[in-house]
Amino acid sequence: MIRSGLCFFIFVMFSSLAAEQTRLPLNDYFAETWNTRSGLPHNSINSVAQTNDGYVWIATWEGLARFNGREFKLFTRSEITGLPDSGLRSLAPQADGSLYISGARGGVGHLKERQWIAQNDASAMVNYILKTRTGEMWLALEGEGVTYREFDNGPEHQVLVNLSAYRLVEDDNGLIWAATSDGLYRIENKIAQLVTANSGLPNNSIYSLLLTKQGQLIVAGEKGAWRLVGDMFESIHQLDGESISSLLQDDHDDIWFGTINKGLFRLSEIGLEQLDAEAGLPANRILSLMQDREKSIWVGTNGGVYRLREAPFSSWTKKRGLNGDYVRSVLSRADGSMWVGSSLGLNRIINDKVELIKPAFDQDPLSILSLAEDNQGNVWVGTYTSGLMRVIDKKIYPVINRDNGLLSNEVRALLFDNEQRLWVGSAAGLTRIDADGSLTQFTTKQGLPGDFIMALALDSHGNIWVGTGVGVAMFNSALGEFKGQAFPKQFNAKYAFGFYAQQGFMWMTTDRGLIRFNVITGDIAMLGREQGLPVDKLFQLVAQSDLFWLSSNRGIIQVKQQQVNDFLDDPINTRGQKLQYQLYDEGDGMLSAQANGGSNPAATLHNDGSIWFATSQGASTVIPERIKKTTQISLPTVIENLYVDGKNTPLLYDEEVLFLPPSTSRLSFHYAGLSFIMPQRLNFQTKLLGYNNEWVNRQRLTITEYTNLAPGKYTFMVRAGYPNSPWQDNYKTVNFVIQSYFWQKTSFKLVMFFSLLVLAYGVYQYRLYHYKNIEKQLTIRVEQQTRDLQQQTDAFAHQATHDQLTDLPNRRAFDSWLADNFTDFKQQALPLAIAIMDIDHFKRINDGWSHIIGDRVICVVAHLLSQCGENNASLVARWGGEEFTLLFPNKTAQQAAQLCEELRQEIANYDFSNIASGLTVTVSFGVADSLTVNDYDRLLAQADQALYKAKSNGRNRVEVTSAETFTVG
């Protein structure tokens, strides 16, 4: 049975589709370690498991740790109901998503639907829990054998006693196999039978069991590992004598073996490999093994938990056969080989094997700067100190150097043009080697912007592009001359490290970002830090599918071609937008994020779809399809905590509603995406139904807070996504209601609303009444003020036309009336008589009795005249001083004189003794009418002449201008 174990595994591997995949050597897996410094409670990792929700659980002697990819959450007996001790021995995840844990003092707990359910304690430490298809719980106990319970918390039945049981497994036939300190037991119908040496197993302890996906039973223990074939166990000879503590079958159907003191073994199609503490394991004692849903291998040791995964990037270094780790150039050849130039020589990689390409003549190791392939498939080599060389029959031969025509021995770029002329870019200029071997030299004198050549490229029109330390130049093949292409001053770029030719465009990687040059229109645009790139300096661009891959000193940048073109085509409308990129570095499998540049090609696309980059720690290679498949793995999202006003609040399930008090002012949701491959790069979106109905980008933020939400019903939703990948339908929700105070309830608000309406209406009516009352008062006041003003106006008008002493019309009023009516009387041929009266010897009255007496006399005379006027429809006015005028409408002078005579007699006979003793008053009249005059001035003049005549004739008489004069009898 020579190598039967290996034959078995080869059969197993080729029986599945996974076997068709190429294995990554064990030493080239990307590894990470977590221990107490990372947040674990203890470094002995007794068991590792993953539940359906995506969490990884780790059992230690100091409690249970839950890992979400970013941080550990610790559970001890204070958090786990009914657990007698924090020391945990094993974990048993179930198909329903629940998790059984078992402890050092026989404690058993069950985590189901976020609740811890205490189970009855076992009699000793539980090394393993098995739930059978029929629902029975089987326990492997330390020193107490094997027991079972027909149901959780049921009575315990003993099957094996006085031994230590380590592992239990149920096969497809319902048989239970027990790994114990006495060996392997086969349990059928609750009856245990020891598998003896007659079946092929030695009489030694068995520590672990594995039932493969193909139904094959594998057992491992103190002296090696065996597989069950028919009724016999066959040894896996590669592991004879190894003390094996744990087993695992991965998705490739490879078998992993954890040992007591030799570290980790993997048996696969590439043979048996070992990984121990010298190769990076935290410790050589392996306690548990687990493969998660993302295909990573978790290794529990007594020095921490160790995780192996096929990272996006892998590296070829001296460990894998390269002659040097400092790689400057990588070349993909049409025959499927990869050529890697390092500081210590040239390597050829084909079929995952490295060949060293040595110099034909003994000399110091060559430092390789550049590589190129001609159309016959020959490889040409540019070196640091030895000029241009060529590979012939897997040997490197010199071609040309500074001694025989090359401008410098430092050759950083090589290019064959369309005529198969070789262009050699060196540190001192550019040399063209024609087919006949002739040399043509180009320096700044021939139009180059600088002599230090770092990059060469051929565009779609056959032009040669040259990258230097002070810009680029283009050699026009048709004209045979260089045309400088200076970078715009605002770009502030100088170094051109690499080119990528695309139909109609030439892309340039520079010390200020990525530049795109339109070879047809001459338009030039740049994508740099201002547009969102994380670095200034880019070395090489590789286009693959719809992506650009850019090498830099800080890692490899992946960005979508379309987004780059959108930014460059429309810088105005894309201003303010964020460039979506992915930066890969040491956390993704690169041994160093420092990619090398200034030599060509510094990165290349291989014909198998992989992309290779020259770095300071080997040649890093990435398979984009592997990254794409990784992002297609289902990504669970979990809401881990809800803090209400700073207090952690237990979460309910999706359909349940959480009621929060009305005083709630701040909500803080903590969530995670359960990816352990790229947890730091996951993106999140949230929405809060009832507040906003659109997904809000949270980028990589794992906390969302809301403050001062109004009372009501809300649904918080969150989903996680891989970078540069479509969002999965993986959102999680929390339904909650912020309760309201009574004054915040709708009914109260309605009552208050209608009460306010009534109050507002009452206030309105009151104000309306008030304003109407004010309006009424204002109206009365205005009317009163109007009357007062009118009275005042009338008084002013009266004062203007009446004598203040006698209240008779004054001369102005008299003249106005006479002027207004004289013409009418004349036109109607009606008589109008006028009389002017003067108080006789009035000065004597003033002088003899006083002016006051004189004024009283004037008032009495005015009164007597007014009475006459009222009786005779005549108009009386004070003419001035002691003179008065009288108008007699429709009367002739004779008629008026008769009335005046009556007045004269009445005044003369009036008793003035009540004014002054011995006082007598007489008056004289002058009368005229309109019959003999044509204007009223003339009429006044005649009346005045008649008055003068009366005074001349002795006073106290009436004189008429054209008639007989009346005198006192």
The catalytic residue among 170, 310, 373, 882 is: 882
Task: Record the tokens describing residue 3, joined without a space.
Answer: 């190598």
Task: Record the tokens describing residue 670, joined without a space.
Answer: 């903590």
Q: What radius of gyration do the chain's Cα atoms show?
A: 61
Measured between its terminal Cα atoms, the distance across the chain in Å is 191
Distances (CA, A) of 264 to 90, 281, 283, 299: 20, 8, 10, 9
Backbone angles phi, psi at 225, to 5 degrees: -135, 150
CA–CA separation, 417 and 421 (whole Å): 6
Tokens 């002013």 belong to which residue?
A: 796
Pure H helices in 802-849: 811-827, 842-849
Do strands 145-149 and 156-160 pair parallel, antiparallel, or not at all (unpaired)? antiparallel
Under 8 Å between Cβ of 405 and 431: yes
CA–CA separation, 795 and 961 (whole Å): 38
Least Cα distance to 148 among 180, 108, 177, 190 occurs for 190
* Helix (H), strand (E) at residue 191: strand 191-194
Q: Is 626 helix (H, G, I), strand (E, B) or coil?
A: helix
Residue-wise burial string across 917-931, b where 16 or more C-beta atoms lie within 10 A, e elsewhere: eebebbbbbbbbbbb
Cβ-in-10-Å burial (0-12, 13-18, 19+) of 78 comes to: exposed
Q: Is 81 helix (H, G, I), strand (E, B) or coil?
A: coil
Under 8 Å between Cβ of 137 and 151: yes
CA–CA separation, 847 and 857 (whole Å): 13
CA–CA separation, 241 and 237 (whole Å): 9
Least Cα distance to 358 among 317, 392, 406, 400 occurs for 392
Backbone angles phi, psi at 848, to 5 degrees: -85, -30
Q: CA torsion, points 622, 628, 634, 635, in degrees to nearest 10?
A: 60
Half-sphere exposure of 125 (CA within 13 A, CB side): 17
Do strands 411-416 and 395-400 pair parallel, antiparallel, or not at all (unpaired)? unpaired
Residue 643 neighbours by CB under 8 Å, 6+ apart: 649, 666, 667, 668, 670
Q: Is 599 helix (H, G, I), strand (E, B) or coil?
A: coil
Under 8 Å between Cβ of 798 and 810: no
Residue 8 neighbours by CB under 8 Å, 6+ apart: 216, 227, 229, 234, 236
Residue 307 neighbours by CB under 8 Å, 6+ apart: 31, 32, 33, 34, 296, 297, 298, 299, 676
Q: DSSP state, 577?
A: P
Backbone angles phi, psi at 80, to 5 degrees: -100, 120
Note if 882 is an active site residue: yes
Backbone angles phi, psi at 835, to 5 degrees: -130, 135
Residue 601: asked if its preceding bond is cis (omega within 30°), the reply is yes
Distances (CA, A) of 764 to 72, 754, 774, 779: 66, 15, 15, 22
Catalytic residues: 882
